[in-house]
Amino acid sequence: MASRVLNQAALLREVRRLRRTGKRIVTTNGSFDLLHIGHVRFLQRASKLGDALIVLLNSDSSIRKLKGPTRPILSQRDRAEMLAALRGVDYVTIFNGDTPLLLLRRIKPDIHAKGGSWKPERIAAEKKLVESWGGKLRLFPMVGGHSTTKLIEAIRKRG
């Protein structure tokens, strides 16, 4: 599965190849720390929106900045490999920023899918950017209340 985990330069070469063959590109982004059924169901739905699904994965350092010093639970390398092993996920790349905006600008996906809980200000920026080249933002609700935070809490309670 590691061959589907690409650095950003290799991913952008692959995006150019996909574009030349007329493929519809879908992106999503997130931490995907402690992969759970909500993640899997969301990624399955997102993959049906186009021909290639690219997951933009928050790096370990960006997660620590966003979620605190105890996160992530799993390393970016492990998270990337698990995501790449899922049917429907074509490529995974890791980014260091707080948001995926710079990478989205370079990929220019046809559709950018968001799942789970959304921060309105982040959605607004991603929506505006993706729509600037004619792309669309698709929002999916959280699946059955599944979240990494709830999973971590449940594990701690069972401790």
Checking 133-139 for CB contacts under 8 A at 24+ apart, the result is 133/108, 135/108, 135/109, 135/110, 135/111, 136/110, 136/111, 136/112, 137/111, 137/112, 137/113, 138/46, 138/49, 138/111, 138/112, 138/113, 138/114, 139/113, 139/114, 139/115
Residue with tokens 């590691």: 2
Cβ neighbours of residue 120 closer than 8 Å, sequence gap 6 or more? none
Q: Which residues are catalytic?
A: 65, 67
